[in-house]
A and B are shown apart, each in its own frame.
Chain A
Amino acid sequence: MVDQNDIVLPIIGLEIHVELDTQTKMFCRCRNRFGDPPNTNVCPVCIGMPGVLPVMNRRAVELSMKVGMALGCQVASVTKWDRKSYWYPDLPKNYQISQYDLPLSSNGLLEVPLADGATKAVRILRAHLEEDAGKNVHDLPSGTGVDLNRAGVPLLEIVSQPDMNSVEEAAAYARTMQRLVRWLGASLANMQMGHMRFEPNINLHITRGGKVHKTPIVEVKNLNSFRSLEGAVAWEIRRQYAAWQEDPEGFTIERQGKQNRGYDDATGQTVFQRGKEEAHDYRYFPDPDLVSVQPDQAWLQAIADSIGELPLARRQRYIDQYRLTFKEADALTQDAPTGDLLDAAVAAGADPKRCVNLMLSRGSAIANERGCSIAQIGLSPAPLAELAIMLHSGQVNATAAAKIFDLMLDGRQTPAAIAAEQGLLAVTEAGEVEAWVDAAIAANPQAAGDVREGGKKAKKAFGFLTGQVMQASRGAANPQQVQEILTRKLG
């Protein structure tokens, strides 16, 4: 049945759930925080006790509008809240407050950069706001329990059009979205903390003999890592093509419509989910406990004004204006505050490249150790600029700069003060450097001879002598100056 001439086009759409980074929950004042002991961030409202009423979190709506605007969406002039009914132990009211026919944002576009330098435009169908459910905790000694800490946390559901055609495009879209929501301060978008979950819709359009066959659409539920997303999409593409080849007439969207599957990280396979595939009737209707939201022009404008430069635009600016490589520019535009730091240091008179080197060497290493962004390690624009300027003018060398960098993060001393106190200032006093050079030559006659003779060993010996001088100066000598003197003496 396999036909080498088949043209297989995957059609992929993605629903991304993003937990918003608000202080409090969507409809009550409970703390929105991951990792607290079960059922500690709960109140009568978010556990749906009789008689309680929801009150909307304005900040969550603002963050959602910000994301919508950054995606070029139309932000609704009137939006309302609807109840979506289904029965589940982790859903306290057995309905979820969501948005049905009037989502906050609709009809946007996300430009997704691909590895080959091309850009893929993915249309955004809608982005609506809802409250999250809680979590069933299995395997307790007492059986299954319900943790409602997450119940009522604001969740932005961003739904794309089925515009992606490969695993790479789907993953790139998801990563671009992660960067955007982080950039906007809308979400920490931390996968380990469940801040982002993916639900891809996948089917294939297979052209064989001039006829297009469409496989049933599969929605893979609740993927919580990029790896799972990639694995699930890749598996579905392979599985659906194989299944269609087995049964080209039966395995079609016309015959089978849509089904839900789960993904098993251990096997890398999707598995059929019973139950969920039944025609669902959520019995949506407007929530009578909440009034509709009509953002006025001033509110919308204030949010629009807060967006500023978007990450991909800034990355391009760094390449054009600061002459950074793509890799450098990309690394510095993972979140807005890191880039803001660079811009501020440059504005203070520092050379962009020097700043970037400092940020991406020691800065990035420390950030990795602490599992945070470069902006969060305690770096401020003024000391960063000062250190970059000292490095550029030769007042300190790279080794010294790295030491100063670590010591200035607590903000207690300026780089100059640290350098002076630690004896890290470059020694440019010609006499002193010359004395260290003479001592090194005297102590290493063999190496000095190799340099004088020239030939194969000369280069290595020269480097060795330079190193000896630097060691003797405890890193304070200017290596360029050392090399000049060495050359003069042994040349």
Chain B
Amino acid sequence: MSAITDLSAAELAAAIAAGRAGAEEAAKAYLAVIEQREGQIGAFNEVLADRALDEARAIDRRRAAGEPLGPLAGVPVAIKDNLCTAYGRTTCSSRMLENFQAPYTATAVGKLQDAGAVIIGKTNMDEFAMGSSTENSGFGPTRNPWDVSRVPGGSSGGSAAAVAAGMCPAALGSDTGGSIRQPAALCGVVGLKPTYGRVSRYGLVAYGSSLDQIGPLTHDVTDCALLTRVIAGYDRADSTSIPQDVPDYLAAIEKPIAGLRVGLPKEFFSQALDSEIRQAVLAAGEAIKAAGARIVEVSLPTSRVDSDGDGKLSSFAVACYYIVASAEASSNLARYDGVHYGYRTPAKVDDIVDLYCRSRAEGLGAEVKRRIMLGAYTLSSGYYDAYYLKALKVRRLIKNDFDRAFQSCDLLLCPTTPTTAFKLGEKTADPLTMYLADVYTLSVNLAGLPGLSVPAAISAAGLPIGMQLIGPVFSEGRLLQVARAYETATGITRLKPPQ
């Protein structure tokens, strides 16, 4: 394979800007990798080959004409298929939106385009971003490039797998309860969920609106900083986006970390945690300490992860998350009714209610239906106080725990996932077990904080282990800085799965 695909996004953009490489050449090289590996991995719902080549050639022409190029000029980027693009389809991996062509482009994607990125395709995902394995796709699962009998994680599994398999140097995902960080960990790539409001959600098909956030998946921390810098910022079209300047993350990440206090939340290292993962994350803490940071123990009681009598995990945060996210999902997905657009049942219907019921029954998958029903139930009068309102209170407690923890440390270090990549089908029969795959990530969404997953080690079985860095709001720069220090100290970066 051509060496051009060994470059990082930052290196590729620099090479293209300097004329050492061509954007068309890069696009062709990556399309060739996709051609070669897609059959095995299933990372893409749609590969935008023609459009990507046109865009790449346009970049090359601009460079030849001496026009200014953006920081991602010529870099192929894959987009999770719940981000609207005014070209191709935006399906959310759902039959319901199988033929949906958005008339607009998501703000985050538009910013990538403005920076010169070449959008190479739309990646597979759990239907409407509901799932932790990318097995809940309406169009078939994605497989983990490290072991194709295993899941890539979810719901941004397509994006994580595409990067891990070398089909693109970077991708965008969305993270509602861990959907960027968890597949990043299972696929051995870097994934950032920015602070809620840091990146505009305009054009992201909503799942849990108060939790959803768009973020990048990349091979290394530098690329993560580069993409975050491009997609972050206030957007008038999203009232929940925050009008605050975007720092130069790239400049921030090379600073020394001496004196930073890294907290280990003891509740995330209980007996419930896989011992190999615990050792890997604690070892990473030692490496960070060696690089000059201090390690302190902190407590996040409301987010604690316990193990019940059967050895299964349990967590208040998981219960809280599934109530909040499902409630919002039940409302966000009410528009898919067979009347306005999207899938409509071909059956002859009795009346409008019949049309709604059949269209939704046929167009939506089991996991989506499960969460819609759960959400409608918890919002209904008589149950609202017992479930939704209580979940909001727990959410507040979780946030308070983080606030308290950040009084004694600058950021937290913890596992990203309770296990390494599991086998396809292993957890599909038991939704509750599947929900626990996000047990270490979803508190971060409930609290609106930034969380970063970076590869920490490779397990004895040869699977990636991720570690998670969590910080106060708008501390993306600091998380990237510590992660970069870890990369530098250990050389664990740009992991390549065995071919």
With a CB–CB cut-off of 8 A, which chain A residues contact B103?
44, 49
Cβ contacts A34-56/B at 8 Å (1 or 0 each): 00000000001001111111111
Cβ contacts B376-391/A at 8 Å (1 or 0 each): 1001110010001000
- Contact residues of B between 65 and 108, Cβ < 8 Å to A: 82-84, 90, 92, 97, 100, 102-104, 106
Contact A289/B209 with A87-B337, A281-B380, A281-B381 known, Cβ cut-off 8 Å:
yes
A95/B331 in contact, CB under 8 A: yes
Contact A51/B209 with A44-B103, A89-B352, A285-B379 known, Cβ cut-off 8 Å:
no
B334/A85 in contact, CB under 8 A: yes
Assembled-state Cα–Cα distance A95/B237 (Å): 20
Q: Is A93 an interface residue (CB 8 A)?
A: yes
With a CB–CB cut-off of 8 A, which chain A residues contact B97?
50
With a CB–CB cut-off of 8 A, which chain A residues contact B361?
none
Interface 9-residue window, one of B198-206, B256-264, B397-405, B410-418: B198-206
Contact A48/B340 with A85-B334, A288-B210 known, Cβ cut-off 8 Å:
yes
With a CB–CB cut-off of 8 A, which chain A residues contact B106?
51
- Contact residues of A between 75 and 131, Cβ < 8 Å to B: 83, 85, 87, 89, 92-95
Contact A291/B239 with A47-B340, A87-B356, A283-B331 known, Cβ cut-off 8 Å:
yes
Nearest residue (CB) in B for A84 is B331
- Contact residues of B between 301 and 351, Cβ < 8 Å to A: 327-328, 330-331, 334-335, 337, 339-341
Cβ contacts B130-147/A at 8 Å (1 or 0 each): 000000000000000000
Contact A50/B340 with A85-B331, A283-B331, A285-B379 known, Cβ cut-off 8 Å:
no
Assembled-state Cα–Cα distance A52/B84 (Å): 9
With a CB–CB cut-off of 8 A, which chain B residues contact A288?
208-210, 240, 328
Q: Is B238 an interface residue (CB 8 A)?
A: yes
Contact A50/B334 with A55-B236, A55-B239 known, Cβ cut-off 8 Å:
no
Assembled-state Cα–Cα distance A95/B103 (Å): 22
Name, among A47, A52, A89, the residue most crowded by chain B CB atoms within 10 Å (CB to CB). Answer: A52
Assembled-state Cα–Cα distance A87/B360 (Å): 13
B335/A48 in contact, CB under 8 A: yes
A94/B335 in contact, CB under 8 A: yes
Contact A51/B334 with A44-B104, A283-B379, A289-B239 known, Cβ cut-off 8 Å:
no
A83/B239 in contact, CB under 8 A: no
Nearest residue (CB) in A for B96 is A50
A92/B204 in contact, CB under 8 A: no
Name, among A47, A53, A94, A146, the residue most crowded by chain B CB atoms within 10 Å (CB to CB). Answer: A53
Q: Is A407 an interface residue (CB 8 A)?
A: no
A54/B379 in contact, CB under 8 A: no
With a CB–CB cut-off of 8 A, which chain A residues contact B90?
50-51
B331/A83 in contact, CB under 8 A: yes
Nearest residue (CB) in A for B200 is A53
With a CB–CB cut-off of 8 A, which chain A residues contact B356?
87
- Contact residues of A between 275 and 294, Cβ < 8 Å to B: 281, 283-285, 288-291
Nearest residue (CB) in A for B342 is A50
The smallest beta-carbon distance between A211 and chain B, in angstroms, is: 33
A51/B238 in contact, CB under 8 A: no
With a CB–CB cut-off of 8 A, which chain B residues contact A44?
102-104
B380/A50 in contact, CB under 8 A: no
With a CB–CB cut-off of 8 A, which chain A residues contact B388?
285
With a CB–CB cut-off of 8 A, which chain A residues contact B102?
44, 49-51
Cβ contacts B222-237/A at 8 Å (1 or 0 each): 0000000000000011
With a CB–CB cut-off of 8 A, which chain A residues contact B384?
283, 285
With a CB–CB cut-off of 8 A, which chain B residues contact A83?
331
With a CB–CB cut-off of 8 A, which chain A residues contact B328?
285, 288
Cβ contacts A42-73/B at 8 Å (1 or 0 each): 00100111111111100000000000000000
Nearest residue (CB) in A for B336 is A50
Interface of B is mostly: loop
Assembled-state Cα–Cα distance A354/B82 (Å): 69
With a CB–CB cut-off of 8 A, which chain A residues contact B209?
288-289
A53/B335 in contact, CB under 8 A: no
With a CB–CB cut-off of 8 A, which chain A residues contact B100?
50
The smallest beta-carbon distance between B212 and chain A, in angstroms, is: 9
Assembled-state Cα–Cα distance A283/B103 (Å): 30
A285/B239 in contact, CB under 8 A: no
A50/B379 in contact, CB under 8 A: no
Assembled-state Cα–Cα distance A452/B35 (Å): 119
Nearest residue (CB) in A for B197 is A291
B352/A285 in contact, CB under 8 A: no
The smallest beta-carbon distance between A89 and chain B, in angstroms, is: 5
Assembled-state Cα–Cα distance A284/B376 (Å): 10
With a CB–CB cut-off of 8 A, which chain B residues contact A283?
330-331, 376, 379-381, 384
Nearest residue (CB) in B for A55 is B239
Cβ contacts B353-385/A at 8 Å (1 or 0 each): 100100000000000000000001001110010
Cβ contacts A13-51/B at 8 Å (1 or 0 each): 000000000000000000000000000000010011111
User: Contacting B331 at CB < 8 Å: which of A53, A146, A285?
Assistant: A285
Contact A56/B239 with A283-B331, A285-B327 known, Cβ cut-off 8 Å:
yes
Assembled-state Cα–Cα distance A20/B204 (Å): 30
With a CB–CB cut-off of 8 A, which chain B residues contact A285?
327-328, 331, 379, 384, 388
B204/A51 in contact, CB under 8 A: yes
User: Contacting B341 at CB < 8 Å: which of A49, A87, A93, A95?
Assistant: A49
Name, among A54, A56, A288, A289, the residue most crowded by chain B CB atoms within 10 Å (CB to CB). Answer: A288
The smallest beta-carbon distance between B204 and chain A, in angstroms, is: 6
Assembled-state Cα–Cα distance A56/B92 (Å): 27
B334/A95 in contact, CB under 8 A: yes
- Contact residues of A between 138 and 176, Cβ < 8 Å to B: 146
With a CB–CB cut-off of 8 A, which chain A residues contact B92?
50
- Contact residues of B between 136 and 171, Cβ < 8 Å to A: none
Nearest residue (CB) in A for B94 is A50
With a CB–CB cut-off of 8 A, which chain B residues contact A85?
331, 334, 379
Assembled-state Cα–Cα distance A50/B239 (Å): 17
With a CB–CB cut-off of 8 A, which chain B residues contact A51?
82-84, 90, 102, 104, 106, 202-206
With a CB–CB cut-off of 8 A, which chain B residues contact A89?
339, 352
The smallest beta-carbon distance between A97 and chain B, in angstroms, is: 11
With a CB–CB cut-off of 8 A, which chain B residues contact A47?
340
The smallest beta-carbon distance between A293 and chain B, in angstroms, is: 10
B239/A93 in contact, CB under 8 A: no
Assembled-state Cα–Cα distance A380/B327 (Å): 57
The smallest beta-carbon distance between A21 and chain B, in angstroms, is: 23
Name, among B239, B328, B381, the residue most crowded by chain A CB atoms within 10 Å (CB to CB). Answer: B239
The smallest beta-carbon distance between B292 and chain A, in angstroms, is: 39
User: Contacting A50 at CB < 8 Å: which of B84, B331, B353?
Assistant: B84
B380/A290 in contact, CB under 8 A: no
Assembled-state Cα–Cα distance A95/B356 (Å): 15
Name, among A49, A85, A291, the residue most crowded by chain B CB atoms within 10 Å (CB to CB). Answer: A49
B335/A92 in contact, CB under 8 A: yes
The smallest beta-carbon distance between A78 and chain B, in angstroms, is: 15
Assembled-state Cα–Cα distance A288/B334 (Å): 15
Cβ contacts B416-444/A at 8 Å (1 or 0 each): 00000000000000000000000000000
With a CB–CB cut-off of 8 A, which chain A residues contact B210?
288
Nearest residue (CB) in B for A56 is B239
Assembled-state Cα–Cα distance A94/B97 (Å): 17
Residues of A whose CB lies within 8 Å of any CB of B are: 44, 47-56, 83, 85, 87, 89, 92-95, 146, 281, 283-285, 288-291
A48-B335, A83-B331, A285-B379 known; 19 new pairs, CB 8 Å cut-off, are: A44-B103, A49-B103, A49-B341, A50-B100, A50-B206, A51-B102, A52-B203, A53-B201, A53-B240, A85-B331, A85-B334, A94-B335, A283-B330, A283-B380, A283-B384, A285-B328, A285-B331, A288-B208, A289-B206
Query: Can you offer 23 A-B residue contacts whose CB atoms are under 8 A?
Result: A44-B103, A49-B102, A50-B100, A50-B102, A50-B205, A50-B206, A50-B335, A51-B205, A52-B104, A53-B201, A53-B202, A54-B239, A85-B379, A87-B334, A93-B335, A94-B337, A283-B376, A283-B384, A285-B327, A285-B331, A288-B240, A289-B209, A291-B239
Counting from the closest, the 3 A-B pairs by CB-CB distance are A94-B334, A288-B210, A288-B209
